[in-house]
Amino acid sequence: MVVEPKVRGFICTTAHPEGCKAHVREQIAYVQKKGPIKNGPKKVLVIGASTGYGLASRIAAAFGCGAQTMGVFFERAAEGKRTATAGWYNTSAFEEAAHSQGLYAKSINGDAFSDAIKQQTLELIQRDWKGEVDLVVYSLASPRRTDPRDGKVYSSVLKPIGQTFRNKTVDMNSGVVSEITIEPASPEEIENTVKVMGGEDWAWWIEALLQAGVLAKGVKTVAYSYIGPALTYPVYRNGTIGKAKEDLERTAKGLTKKLQALEGKAFISVNKALVTQASSAIPVVPLYISLLYKVMKEKGTHEGCIEQLYRLFHDFLYASSVLVDEEGRIRIDDWELAEDVQNKVEALWKIVTTENIRQLSDIEGCRADFYQLFGFGLKSVDYTQEVNVEKSIDSISA
């Protein structure tokens, strides 16, 4: 069938198998061109491995470090005329490329928050790897979570705390700049957002791996966070999602203590703002990103997921020493938050309107990045051709 993009809001309901494959191959080619990462991990578990930073982590580990990788995610296969999800196609393409290089790559498809998926993962690690996982990447992004211990479903919200927030935002599809008003979150909404996006599940994963005895001496684990500029603080860092990220950072410190016997350590990597399914849903952030892209591309410092993750592995996690800030966090958002970059973005923010957004921002580049998340807009792909939407992955499903 011929596959075309069908967009609803900030979600594309279709994905292109050959486009996703081309996008994955581009990321692999980038890592291979940059060269091997010395002293990198050899057995890597990526929780949330099928898109964005999680996928880039798996690619950097496999093709930069020669690592065996195991990915956990929740994706859907093709069914009839309905395409699979982009994450499914990404994983299929990744596994095909990894296997062609003789690299172990298997996946577990199901709810990573559940005890059942944790147990299946442990059993696969014990069977195939005999333990010895030396890097655990936690990169889950979900709007809701079912807690396996109380059975409740918790949903996250993207809201300010304490007061109503008003500021500019943009509709990425139409390019219309407008003012948005967001009412403050209730105490329950704050608590639920921390439950979904905080560090509890990351801690449960590490505790399960520890109890099973499958972590190697010197193991590292890393989770991804974002801080951003003062411009987005009310709706991000000082909002509900910011509370969840603070919990994630506290969790890292607690996990480092638990890993001491193995001489292991937990890290938070604060990453750059990028176009993802998650960021597209956050009010104000898409407009900020479109201005940021413009400034950083002109400066020559713009990075996508794979550039960020290669730098994380090469310059930080597996450098001779891990450089962190005063809070113990790795900062690969350093180029984004450079003073000259932020000064320029702030100046543009004050004057950007619907009429001038295409001149002042890189909204077209952001829109292209959004479509590429689902395998559309790749120059090497002929989208007029029919494609087989059924692709296999080497997975164990719940």
Q: Is 236 a catalytic residue?
A: yes
pLDDT of 398 strictly over 60: no
User: Is residue 356 assigned to a domain?
Assistant: yes
Give the tens place of pLDDT for each residue, 149-192.
999 999 999 999 999 999 999 988 889 999 999 999 999 999 99
User: Is residue 82 assigned to a domain?
Assistant: yes
CA distance 201 to 195: 9
User: Is residue 391 assigned to a domain?
Assistant: yes
> How many distinct structural domains can be found in the chain?
1
Give the tens place of pLDDT for each residue, 112-128.
999 999 999 999 999 99
User: Is residue 1 assigned to a domain?
Assistant: no
pLDDT for the residue numbered 155: 97
The CATH number assigned to the domain holding 259 equals: 3.40.50.720
Catalytic residue among 224, 236, 288, 293: 236
User: Is residue 51 assigned to a domain?
Assistant: yes
Give the tens place of pLDDT for each residue, 74-107.
999 999 989 999 999 999 999 999 999 999 999 9
pLDDT for the residue numbered 141: 86
pLDDT of 380 strictly over 80: yes
Give the tens place of pLDDT for each residue, 320-358.
999 999 999 999 999 999 999 999 999 999 999 999 999
- Of residues 262 and 7, which shows the higher confidence score? 262
User: Is residue 210 assigned to a domain?
Assistant: yes
CA distance 376 to 18: 9
Range of the domain at 237: 7-397
pLDDT for the residue numbered 8: 82
User: Is residue 2 assigned to a domain?
Assistant: no
Pairing of β 68-73 and β 43-47: parallel
pLDDT for the residue numbered 397: 60
pLDDT of 280 strictly over 80: no
User: Is residue 259 assigned to a domain?
Assistant: yes
**Mean of per-residue pLDDT scores for the chain:** 95
Residue 383 burial class via C-beta count within 10 angstroms: exposed 0-12, middle 13-18, buried 19 and up: middle
pLDDT of 29 strictly over 60: yes
